[in-house]
Amino acid sequence: MPPETRLPQAVGDLMAVEREGAVEVAWTVRGRRMDNSRITEPGFARLYRIDDAGTGEPRAAMRRDDRIVGYTELATFRLQDLGGDRITYVDRRGLVYGRRYTYVATTTDAQGRTSAPSARVSITYIAPPEPPQALRGEPGDRAARLGWQPPAKLVDGTAIGDPLVYDVLRATDPVAEPSVIGRTAPGTTAYEDRGVENDRTYYYAVRAIRMAGAASAAGAASERVAVTPMKTTPPAPVRDVTAVPSRGEVRLSWRPSPEPDVATYIVYRAAGGGAPMRVGTVRPPTTTFVDRNVPPGTYRYTVTAQDASARANESGPSNEVSVTVP
């Protein structure tokens, strides 16, 4: 009996998506042979392509020696140079709108033994939309609200006749590559990003996705917009303020606001029918204050709570207490 030829396992997760004037093809190289033994000396991975008008089944992927018959080899990758088992290839070679492109990948070990072809992956290359227009962002409490205008046309100048969905992208740095955080329903041009941190700036962009039957095409991303979520709800008011006057001063105390992010209590004093004036502050957990050097007369006191947010939201006034300083 001749010795068994132990071929590498075939690629099982080949995928292709259209992105911004190209087709992105990705797959995982299996580091084992058909008998599940490990490949200790990596060789090469190869990617092949064929294109047609999109009618009928794409050409079958049949291997002859270590090549795929009738397919064009796009790229060869030395596996020992990859630093991992995941390969991503961006195909921009001679793409034509309306053509169907079919991809196949193989794996070859260091002894020249080539795996069976992967399952074919086909994609019809269609014109993507232009970037969305007039992206705007509004901050909310742990949220960013986005809105935009749809693209005017496709990149080839033709009108948009297919439904559009939108990918929302976000980065935490103005120069970092943003990642997709969500996708809208068809025709929706608004999105709310919830659960983000207050007082931290996020950078958003949006790209339109054209859906044409089984084909789809992602356009280029819009210009970025910066949004800094912030707390807009003030703390609950202080309660049960009491005041005890004595010569030249007034001692105040109160029940604290129940909110955990209160940073300051602000004390206000009003003389006669005048407007309240800020006379002092204290930091939690202190809930007392002594207003000193107060001239004789009748005064009204209130206390508010202010949170630690960048907006410094201030609660409404507490109950008002009136005292007469001798």
The full DSSP string for 106-136 is EEE-TTS-BPPPPPPEEEE--PPBPPPEEEE
**Residue 22 contacts residue 101 (beta carbons within 8 Å):** no
pTM: 0.70
- CATH of 133-227, picked from 2.60.40.10, 2.40.50.140, 3.30.420.40, 3.40.190.10, is 2.60.40.10
Mean pLDDT of 231-251: 94
CATH class of 239-325: mainly beta
Between CA 55 and CA 259 the distance in angstroms is 65
User: Does residue 2 have a pLDDT over 70?
Assistant: no
pLDDT tens sequence across 254-273: 999 999 989 999 999 999 88
Domain boundaries, the chain: 15-124, 133-227, 239-325
283 forms beta bridges with none
Q: Give the alpha-carbon dihedral of 84, 90, 93, 94, to 10 degrees.
A: 150
pLDDT at residue 316, as a whole number: 95
> Per-residue confidence at 1, pLDDT binned at 50, 70, 90?
very low
pLDDT at residue 105, as a whole number: 97
Tell me if residue 323 falls in helix, strand or coil.
Answer: strand
pLDDT at residue 192, as a whole number: 97
Mean pLDDT of 291-298: 94
pLDDT tens sequence across 146-164: 999 999 999 999 999 888 9
pLDDT at residue 214, as a whole number: 80
- Which residue, 66, 62, 47, is CA-closest to 110? 66
Q: Does domain 15-124 have CATH number 2.60.40.10?
A: yes
pLDDT at residue 162, as a whole number: 84
pLDDT at residue 169, as a whole number: 97
Mean pLDDT of 198-203: 94
- Which residue, 231, 208, 233, 205, is CA-closest to 219? 208
pLDDT tens sequence across 29-57: 998 898 888 888 889 999 999 999 999 99
Q: Does 133-227 match 15-124 at the fold level?
A: yes
* The amino acid at 3: P
